Amino acid sequence: MDMLFHATSAAFLGRILGERRPGWLCLAAVIGVIPDLVSNVVCITSYQLAHSLALQLPIVLILLLLNWRIAFGGLLHVVLDIPTHQYATTHLFYPFAKWDLPIGIAWYEGLGFLTWGLLWITLAALILLYGMDQKARKLCKIKAPEERACPSPYSPRAD
């Protein structure tokens, strides 16, 4: 997918996981695009390494210690690239193994462009629904905070 999608989806994932602070959400967005930033700046070998689970998993482990809510942006990037790039599986386990599974289509051409559009529409709809849910919960707490009228499947952060 494109870099804006990776940034948006990583920040949204951080938000869903409970992070509300704008600075941390911006960092989540940056973490989401790091694989493409690194590979576009350095070289093709860095592309393979930056999009490999062999690099992403240690990064996730380090970020879990820093702020677990923003730790999964790079991993989400690699997973999202599998169906939206024709060659993503070849470097999934780089440098330990090389797969060449015929899954995924290039998001930037032909039917892949349709996939790109559908993924953007899906992400926008999820963000909109999440925003509406948050607003409804906020209104519900204002109207009846003592009655627990709005049961939540997750606990909001108390910042």
- Cβ 50 to Zn ion shortest distance, Å: 8
Q: Are 50 and 34 in contact (CB under 8 A)?
A: yes
Q: Least distance from C-beta 46 to Zn ion, angstroms?
A: 12
Count of residues engaged in binding Zn ion, rule: CB under 5 A: 3
For residue 33, which of 96, 89, 80 has the smallest C-alpha distance?
Answer: 80
**Distance from the Cα of residue 153 to its chain's centroid:** 21
133-to-119, 130, 145 alpha-carbon distances in Å: 21, 5, 16
The contact mask relative to Zn ion for 78-117 (x = CB under 5 A, - = no) is ---x------------------------------------
Of 19 and 81, nearer to Zn ion (C-beta) is 81
Instruction: Return the residues of window 32-71 that contact Zn ion according to CB under 5 A.
Output: 35-36
> Which among 12-20, 76-84, 107-115, 150-158 is the span making contact with Zn ion, rule CB under 5 A?
76-84
Instruction: Output the smallest distance, CB 36 to Zn ion, in A.
Output: 4
CB 35 within 8 A of CB 78: yes
Would you count residue 19 as binding Zn ion (CB under 5 A)? Answer: no
Alpha-carbon distances of 151 from 19, 57, 143, 154, 155, rounded to whole Å: 20, 34, 14, 9, 10
Please give the residue ranges that form the binding site for Zn ion (CB under 5 A).
Answer: 35-36, 81
